[in-house]
Structure 1
């Protein structure tokens, strides 16, 4: 039994604040699918933290104080022993999966020799990638996705974190792709991104996709388009094909990818993002979520010529259900205002 399944749906109270200046507030914390889900006292989701990216700020001291890796200003204080044990179990498991510093040179040498032998005798690169994709667990995918997001943010600027906007975005994401989905949705302050799906279920939107349009159906469309990408190609496969066979074999044997591999792939995603999924893959997602396809389609091509299949097969033509309240939509559009 893995740590994730052992602690599935564990809940506890906590104290959360978004920045050093913000007042702490009482929240509920749920140990979800590779994430910590932080909700207000009425059960409305405020934010998701990727478990592999959670850092403890006061080791050995209680109440335990945690922060999302790379953002020590946002904190979560926990006193419930079971929840602390669950988080620490995952952190220890991830630490064991990384090579020890004192053995790094030996491990690197052995890995290189093993990689050469394996590549020359047993494996074709494609087969090795497929074997690695099968072996990598969701926790490791989440860790890779969070690290990749960090490299993307170095190029675009840090994710938009206005507090009320984050709550509205979390509720919007729950409405579209379901409560408890792995990963979460992040808005970056750059037009270099439209929408991306990273390993571990992280969906990335560019600021113009949220701010630059009046119709929430358009933003919803880009979220669903990102959610459709793994049906065409596993996002981790794209990482490994960029990484090359030696780095792939290193992930397979040690559970580790070199930071330079992720930095290079982050640049590739910005310069050459994945093509949108075909209409036959996207249409069922739009229909299930109750989102019309036309706003998204025309945002991709104003003429409509290259997206005619999405426009003509619009599952909600003439029907515009409420996707988000006007107040929440205005709040979401201000997510980058802080």
Structure 2
């Protein structure tokens, strides 16, 4: 761990020039005292780090301390720089590792690629935290130690013991055979089997995890994309999910799609609106989502949903009738 941190420290100084101990500590997620010890270790190993005192002081490297990677072209470097810093870097607890990898790649680029790709990447933003209406994306938090244990078991092919809190239930311990990890719309999932039966666990509901010594019962090769599609289809076809036919204004279409579980069909309407067949979690979910779209959406079926929306609108109208 310290060796990786020392490399990251050198790369930070190479790419950004003079940096203070406090800045390095924030980047490396350690204390300033640890940074000072690392600086001493680098100097003792012959790395040309020098300190500068004063208001604009800090630590810096002497020029020329670098290597080059000539096999990467400009667009390849740009793809890494643009995709790396997005919120997806936190998937599966690998955010710090990704940031360190990006620093190493950037430092190894030829000088011409490094300058132009870095400038271009500043003009590309992938998946920001808020949309144009200033709505923040809902990001589910997963405990770091728990995520590490889950990830290690998945990659090592070992059984996993998790303390899982299913919806509206107290957390319980269960032993599973992990297959893989999937992230969708900022939500992470563990695909596994339990006693031979397929199971899908939301990572934010895993309260604790322990990697077990015995090998997981699973195939050597896996197609996660196919497994995810199959489990999604089973999920949507079972339970009490509600299928709804709806008309929506084109300006609110994306907002609607952000609330549904699935889109089964879509076609343009004569007035420029869209007609869709979508799936909601249940009637309450559907009523909530369509109510927030106001007059820019119309539920066509089922009739019970139309009645529910009508009754809610009538109640609101009656409440404010005296202020017309």
Q: TM-score, normalised by structure 2?
A: 0.27
Larger radius of gyration between Structure 1 and Structure 2: 2
More strand by share: 2
Larger relative contact order (CA 8 Å, sep ≥ 6):
1
More helix by share: 1
